[in-house]
Amino acid sequence: MENKQQSELGTKNITKLLFSMAIPAIAAQIINLLYNMVDRMYIGHIPEVGATALTAVGVTMPIIMVISAFAALVSMGGAPRASIMMGKGDKDTAQKILGNCTTALVFISITLTAIVLIFGDKMLMAFGASENTIKYALDYLNIYAFGTLFVQLALGLNAFITAQGFAKISMLTVLVGAILNIILDPIFIFGFKMGVKGAALATIISQGVSALWVMKFLTGDKTLLKIKRKYLKIDFKVLLPCIALGLAPFIMQSTESILAIAFNTSLLKYGGDLAVGSMTILSSVMQFSMLPLVGLTQGATPIISFNYGAGNGDRVKDAFLLLLKISLAYSIGLWAITMIWPQLFAKMFTKDIELINITIKTLRIYMAASLLFGIQISCQQTFIALGNAKTSVFLAILRKIILLIPLIYILPLFLQNKVNAVFLAEPIADIIAVTVTGTLFTIQFKGVLRELDLEKI
């Protein structure tokens, strides 16, 4: 099994290999989206308090996003490094990485649980909870906090399953939790009349089952990398490079909450509730546009990392070029649909004519540069796959922190239509970020391929 799996990463046809890895990863992303949507749909239909409860759970989202980001901090750096070591034939170091990351996820879980339970009410008020919603928000968050360990292990360690080439097993981790959550939600919320508490309980039980699924696989006979007691002791020489590499995806995920606050506060100031409602739809369309691209890069990362570790420059180059072509084709196709038929997306989320009309106008502005997403995400994720921590962190900071958030506040000062100015921040930031990313990648990728060629001599 071990030789076959590693042989496929190093020898199987790149196109077939990428699709076999990417399709389950894309499916997992879509399943995860449905997971969250169904949860909110049930909460929104709680008798009498549904709308308030839904708003309350929405307030908890920034905190939950940060919890998920910490799983990415460890896993999205650790998993590519493990793949690189497997490519080099250094299975011992790859297993040390897995063991150290497992321990780190446990320590992070304990710390986050304590912080949320102690400071949860203050954090919720800072993120927009009111006297009407704080009770429901705390009911949800306090129960969710006790499942933080499950969330960290399920999300964090699942990346190590994908890193070995077991994309279908990785997808099943998400699928098992999603199906169980969909079943348990109505039972706890309506059957046991637990309301928001029932939704939170259903979520952590589902994540707990997913975590057990992952642990069972990574301690079983089919895995190439196994969690072993002797590798659980923290070795900072092993762990810190993983954390450094994971900083980019951590920043990308954790800053989403800051970005949402920046957009919403500016739009509320210049356009009122209608503009904020439009942003809710636009962010959903943006998420939909990114999901397949994220799945594609998750499928490509183990291939690039493994072959980089093995010194096979041709396969690294071929895998990246294929990833870039497919990503560009998807992002250009979706961009064309949003430009030609923006009303399709608007009508998916609302029947309000006024909201549909403003969304049609703003969607074309907000998504104007989305055809370039294929370049941005392919290059940025390949930096991570090659173990380039510094550049990947810089690019993550560049788009959101350096460009997008300041532009949200600066552009309305110079443009007459303040609402359009806020939405215009997105495409301007995208164009600059893609230009910088593409330039840096072209220079550094050529250097990587030259180094791999020299190693063969």
- The conformation of residue 233, written as its DSSP 8-state character, comes to S
- The conformation of residue 146, written as its DSSP 8-state character, comes to T
192 in any annotated domain: yes
Q: Note whether 213 and 64 are same-domain residues.
A: yes
Q: Note whether 150 and 41 are same-domain residues.
A: yes
Q: If DSSP states are collapsed to H, E and C, what string results for 421-432?
A: HHHHHHHHHHHH
Which residue from 454, 310, 322 is spatially nearest to 382, judged by alpha carbons? 322
Tell me, what's the pLDDT at 218?
Answer: 96
What would the pLDDT profile of 186-230 be if each residue is shown by its tens digit? 999 999 989 999 999 999 999 999 999 999 999 999 999 999 999
Tell me, what's the pLDDT at 48?
Answer: 79
CB atoms within 10 A of CB 44: 13
Q: Note whether 75 and 202 are same-domain residues.
A: yes
**pTM as predicted:** 0.78
176 to each of 132, 181, 209, 215, 353, how far by Cα in Å? 35, 9, 8, 14, 39
239 in any annotated domain: no
Boundary residue ending a domain (234, 250, 279) = 234
74 to each of 23, 159, 191, 369, 402, how far by Cα in Å? 24, 10, 38, 31, 24
Q: Note whether 320 and 191 are same-domain residues.
A: no
Maximum distance among all alpha carbons in the chain? Answer: 73
Backbone angles phi, psi at 49, to 5 degrees: -115, 10
246 in any annotated domain: no
Q: Which amino acid is at 247?
A: L
72 in any annotated domain: yes
Boundary residue ending a domain (234, 250, 281) = 234
Tell me, what's the pLDDT at 4?
Answer: 52
Q: Which amino acid is at 453?
A: D
Tell me, what's the pLDDT at 322?
Answer: 94
Tell me, what's the pLDDT at 51?
Answer: 66
Q: Residues 284, 290, 291, 294: is their CA dihedral positive or negative?
A: negative
Three-class SS state of 208:
helix
- CA dist., res. 151 & res. 63, Å (int): 13
189 in any annotated domain: yes
Tell me, what's the pLDDT at 423?
Answer: 94
For the chain, list residues with pLDDT below 50: 1
- CA dist., res. 355 & res. 353, Å (int): 5
- CA dist., res. 91 & res. 89, Å (int): 6
Tell me, what's the pLDDT at 387?
Answer: 85
Q: Note whether 174 and 41 are same-domain residues.
A: yes
Three-class SS state of 315:
helix
Q: Residues 283, 285, 291, 296: is their CA dihedral positive or negative?
A: negative
Cα first-last separation, the chain: 31
Q: Note whether 80 and 212 are same-domain residues.
A: yes
27 in any annotated domain: yes
Cα dihedral 402→62→434→162 (10° resolution): 130
Rg, the chain, Cα only = 22
Boundary residue ending a domain (234, 262, 286) = 234
- CA dist., res. 381 & res. 300, Å (int): 9
Q: Note whether 218 and 346 are same-domain residues.
A: no
Which residue from 193, 68, 220, 195 is spatially nearest to 136, judged by alpha carbons? 195
Chain-centroid distance, C-alpha 307 = 24
Q: Note whether 218 and 85 are same-domain residues.
A: yes
Domain count, the chain: 2
Inter-helix orientation angle 50-87/91-126, to 10°: 160
Q: Within 310-417, where are the H helices?
A: 313-340, 342-349, 353-366, 373-385, 389-397, 405-410
437 in any annotated domain: yes
- What range does the domain containing 449 cover? 309-456
Which residue from 450, 165, 225 is spatially nearest to 316, judged by alpha carbons? 450
104 in any annotated domain: yes
